[in-house]
Structures are given as structure tokens and as C-alpha cells.
């Protein structure tokens, strides 16, 4: 297995980019789709369940983002190692990423679950807490499995073996759709010929969490088999701090970036909750659609990260700029399309997810605002990936933190509470923060790609 050759034309670059982007994007969308399915199913279970899963998912993604960010520190190392022809280092990085995934998953899951049970003893109680505890308790065993999947995905995309990501995603989502429906509502209404399935009890919100956890395990098992078929296997090494430290240095800023990104949505969700359960439910549904769209641009960003990483590893500055520019252009094209969908078909999107009638009046305006920030959100998703391929993760972390909390949050508070626009104003503040970040990311890539390349250290 040898590194891919450089390409000279934009058309060829676009073709190579999308060879990577399509499978990666399907995997990205697939993860969002499992949460989307949970939301859609629980929307039919009742407003209380929908409100609880809204807060639970916000908390879950804030916590898991720390581990996911650390694992993403592998991305530029694997792609640059492969671009430089150092396949042994890429495989060794996979092993050490797996060690990190298990440890980080356990360290994140246990305190989160225990913390939810301690909240009432600290005087912090609210109506959604019992269902939140159920949901997150049954999602927690999937923390190490999800991080192991991210580790295998980082390796597979870094060496250009992304096809299996499609298979794992399709299988997991089909299973999740069936399993979540069965576990949430129970099997009592099934036909007689399905026999034992009719005895499955209705588990409600707990059933949605259990289904998602099982499907995460299924995805990891599928990609693990694909990793074993990649040439160049090395024996499992003993954990070495020297091999894990670069991943932590690169991954920690990514973790802060993702935590800031998820954190602002969690804070905004809590602020939206202040306007009533209908507002938080509308907010959660709008986030589900927004995340679905962002998953595509994030997938393009991951593909751009790989292409740029290969070029940096090969010492080809022209290829770095071409790969980065084509990734950004692809993201812009998709966000133009998604903005059009949100702006033209908001009522159809509301009906698709089965929103309760009392939520609809707030949800339609939120989807219109979502259309406005699609371009900025896309530039952020793709640009962060392109910079990551160059090994630059700190700038994005700072830009996201500043954009969300020094621009987006104050603007959202002013519009939502100061001017009385409610949850729509909170969403408008997010739009202002994303626009600030997008401009900063574009400036950073142009500056770095115009200078001398600085590959990451290449120790085995």
C-alpha cells in the first residue's frame, strides 16, 4: 500500500476529495441520524420524553466531545504519516489511539452517571431529571465503544480505506430504527407470527438509549474487521507515553473546540427551556436538522483534512492549497443547497419529524434562521478539518470559543431576552457567532497555506 499520487487539476482534486468525502459523510450523517431517529420516535411518545432527550443529548454530546476531540488528534498524524510513506507509524498510532479511547471512555462515563444521581442531594432537581438519568445511564456503556469507533475511523480515513464506513453506518441505522421503535413502544402491538418479540416491554426513553448503545457496538465491530484487512499490521505495542503525548497535544484543542461548540448549544437549550417546554422541544428539533446538515460539511472537512494531511506529509505546498480550496468550495456548494431546503420547505420538515402541534409555531421561524447560518456553519466544519490536516488545532479552538461565548451568547441574550424574540433570538445569536468564526477560519487557512509547510514530527 503506497501513498496516493498528487493531482494537478481542480477537477481531479474534486474527484479524489469526494471519493473520501462520500463515505466519511455518510458515516457522519449516520451518527446524527441515530440521534435524529431517537428524537423522532420520542416526539411521538410525548412532550415530556422529547424534552428529556433534548437535555440529555445536549449533556451527552458535551461530555463525549472531550474524548472525541482527543481521538481526533490522530487524524493529522495518521494522514501525514501515510502521505510520507510511514505506514508502520500509522498502524502504531492506531493502537495507542485505542488505548486512549478505552481509558477516556471510562473516565468520562462513570462521573457523568454518578453526577446525575448526586444532583438531587445537592439541591439540584428538575422535572426531566429521572428520565435523563435513565437515558444517559444506558448510553454510558457506549462511551468507550464510540471512541474506539472514532479511532478506527481516523485510521481508515487516514489510509484511504473509507468504504466500510458506509456499510457500518447503514447496518447500524437500519438496526437502530427497528430496535428503537420496538424498545421504546414495546412489542405488544406486533403481529402474532413475531412471537417472542411481542413480549418485549415498552421501555420508553431508556429503550432509545439502549438501542443506540447496541448499534454503536455493532459499528465498531464492523470497522474493526476492516482494519484487520489493511496491509501492514504490527503487533500490539505496550502503551508508550511518547506516542500518546502528540495525540493529546493535538487533540486537546480539538476537544475544547467541540466542547465549546456543543456547550453553546447546551447553554442555549437551557435558556430556551426558560421560555417553556414547547420552546426547548422546538429548539431540539431545529438542532437535529442543523446537526444533520453540519454532519455533511463536517464529513467534507474530514476528507479535506486527509487530503491536506497527505500533501503535508509528502511536502507538496501546492497540493495543500488546492486540496484546501476544493474542500471549502465543496462545503460552500452543499450549504447553499441546504439553506435553500430550510428556507423553502420548513413546513414539510416540521411534518417529517412529527413535531407536536404546540411546537410548530416556534419551529418554523427557527428553521428559517437555520437557513441563514448554513454557509457560516459549513465554512467552520470544512475549515476546521482543513486546518487539522495541517496540524493546526489551537487556532480553531480559540476562534470557536470567542465566536460562541463572546459574540454568539451575548447577541442571543440580547435578542431573546432583551428584545423579546424568545427562542428565535437565542438561535439568532448562534448565527452571529458562527459568522464570526467562519471569517476567522478562512483567514487562518489562507495565511498558513501561503507559507512554508511544517509537518508533524514523524517518530515511530
Report pLDDT for 171: 93
Report pLDDT for 33: 74
> What string of pLDDT tens digits covers the 460 residues of the chain?
566 666 668 888 888 899 888 888 888 777 767 777 777 777 776 666 777 777 777 778 778 878 889 999 999 999 999 888 888 888 899 999 999 999 999 999 999 888 888 877 776 666 667 778 888 899 899 999 999 999 999 999 988 888 898 899 899 999 998 888 888 887 777 666 666 777 677 788 888 889 989 999 999 999 999 998 888 777 778 888 888 889 999 999 998 888 888 778 778 777 776 676 667 777 777 777 777 778 788 889 999 999 999 999 888 889 999 999 999 999 988 988 888 888 888 777 777 766 667 777 777 777 777 787 788 888 888 999 999 999 999 999 999 999 999 998 999 889 888 888 877 788 788 889 989 999 999 999 999 988 877 888 764 4
Q: What angle do CA 295, 336, 300 make, to 5 degrees?
A: 35
Q: Are the C-beta atoms of 253 and 394 separated by less than 8 Å?
A: yes
Is 76 within the bounds of a domain? yes
Residue of 105, 115, 111, 23 lying closest to 70 (CA atoms): 105
Report pLDDT for 2: 60
Is 4 within the bounds of a domain? no
Is 71 within the bounds of a domain? yes
Q: Say which residue the cell 459568522 belongs to.
A: 435
Number of structural domains, the chain?
1
Is 1 within the bounds of a domain? no
DSSP assignment of 265-298 equals HHHHHHHHHTT-HHHHHHHHHHHHHHHHHHHHHH
Q: Which three cell numbers stand for residue 402?
A: 470567542
Is 430 within the bounds of a domain? yes
Q: Could you give the CA distance from residue 314 to residue 81 in angstroms, rounded to a whole number?
A: 9
Q: Is the pTM of this model over 0.85?
A: no
Q: How far is CA 174 from CA 27, 30, 101, 143, 349, in A?
A: 13, 10, 26, 21, 21
Residue of 17, 1, 28, 20 lying closest to 168 (CA atoms): 28
Report pLDDT for 459: 46
Q: Are the C-beta atoms of 302 and 385 separated by less than 8 Å?
A: yes
Is 459 within the bounds of a domain? no
Report pLDDT for 223: 94
Is 419 within the bounds of a domain? yes
Contacts of 126 (CB under 8 A, 6+ apart): none
Residue of 64, 66, 88, 68 lying closest to 77 (CA atoms): 88
Q: What is the domain range of residue 281?
A: 10-449
Q: Could you give the CA distance from residue 309 to residue 443 in angstroms, rounded to a whole number?
A: 19
Is 106 within the bounds of a domain? yes
Amino acid at each position: 500500500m503506497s501513498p496516493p499520487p498528487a493531482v494537478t487539476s481542480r477537477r481531479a482534486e474534486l474527484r479524489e476529495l469526494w471519493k473520501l468525502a462520500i463515505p466519511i459523510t455518510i458515516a457522519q450523517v449516520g451518527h446524527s441520524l441515530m440521534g435524529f431517529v431517537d428524537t423522532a420516535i420520542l416526539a411521538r411518545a410525548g412532550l415530556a420524553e422529547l424534552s428529556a432527550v433534548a437535555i440529555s443529548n445536549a449533556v451527552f454530546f458535551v461530555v463525549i466531545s472531550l474524548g472525541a476531540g482527543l481521538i481526533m488528534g490522530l487524524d493529522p498524524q495518521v494522514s501525514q504519516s501515510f502521505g510520507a510513506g510511514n505506514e508502520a507509524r500509522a498502524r502504531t498510532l492506531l493502537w495507542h489511539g485505542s488505548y486512549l479511547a478505552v481509558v477516556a471512555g471510562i473516565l468520562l462515563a462513570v462521573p457523568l452517571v454518578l453526577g446525575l444521581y448526586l444532583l438531587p442531594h445537592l439541591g439540584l432537581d428538575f422535572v426531566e431529571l429521572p428520565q435523563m438519568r435513565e437515558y444517559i445511564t444506558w448510553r454510558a456503556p457506549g462511551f468507550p465503544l464510540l471512541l474506539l469507533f472514532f479511532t478506527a475511523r481516523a485510521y481508515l480515513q487516514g489510509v484511504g480505506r473509507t468504504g466500510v464506513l458506509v456499510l457500518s453506518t447503514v447496518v447500524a441505522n437500519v438496526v437502530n430504527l427497528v430496535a428503537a421503535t420496538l424498545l421504546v413502544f414495546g412489542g405488544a402491538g406486533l403481529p402474532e407470527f413475531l412471537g417472542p418479540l411481542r413480549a418485549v416491554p415498552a421501555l420508553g426513553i431508556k429503550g432509545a438509549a439502549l438501542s443506540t448503545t447496541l448499534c454503536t457496538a455493532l459499528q465498531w465491530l464492523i470497522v474493526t474487521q476492516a482494519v484487520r484487512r489493511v496491509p501492514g499490521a504490527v503487533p500490539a505495542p505496550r502503551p508508550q507515553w511518547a506516542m500518546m503525548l502528540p495525540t493529546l497535544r493535538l487533540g486537546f484543542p480539538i476537544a475544547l473546540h467541540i466542547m465549546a461548540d456543543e456547550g453553546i448549544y447546551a447553554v442555549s437549550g437551557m435558556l430556551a427551556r426558560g421560555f417553556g417546554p414547547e420552546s426547548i422541544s422546538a429548539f431540539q428539533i431545529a438542532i437535529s436538522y442543523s446537526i444533520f446538515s453540519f454532519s455533511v460539511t463536517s464529513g467534507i472537512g474530514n476528507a479535506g483534512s486527509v487530503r491536506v494531511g497527505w500533501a503535508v506529509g509528502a511536502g507538496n505546498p501546492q497540493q495543500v492549497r488546492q486540496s484546501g480550496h476544493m474542500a471549502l468550495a465543496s462545503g460552500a456548494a452543499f450549504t447553499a443547497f441546504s439553506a435553500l431546503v430550510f428556507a423553502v420547505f420548513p413546513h414539510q420538515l416540521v411534518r417529517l419529524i412529527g413535531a407536536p402541534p404546540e411546537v410548530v409555531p416556534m419551529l418554523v421561524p427557527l428553521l428559517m434562521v437555520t437557513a441563514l447560518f448554513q454557509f457560516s456553519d459549513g465554512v467552520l466544519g470544512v475549515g476546521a478539518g482543513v486546518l487539522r490536516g495541517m496540524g493546526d488545532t489551537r487556532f480553531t479552538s480559540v476562534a470557536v470559543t470567542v465566536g460562541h461565548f463572546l459574540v454568539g451568547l451575548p447577541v442571543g441574550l440580547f435578542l431573546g431576552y432583551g428584545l423579546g424574540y424568545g427562542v428565535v433570538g437565542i438561535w439568532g445569536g448562534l448565527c452571529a457567532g458562527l459568522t464570526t468564526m467562519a471569517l476567522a477560519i478562512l483567514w487562518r487557512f489562507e495565511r498558513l497555506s501561503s507559507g512554508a509547510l511544517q509537518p508533524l514530527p514523524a517518530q515511530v
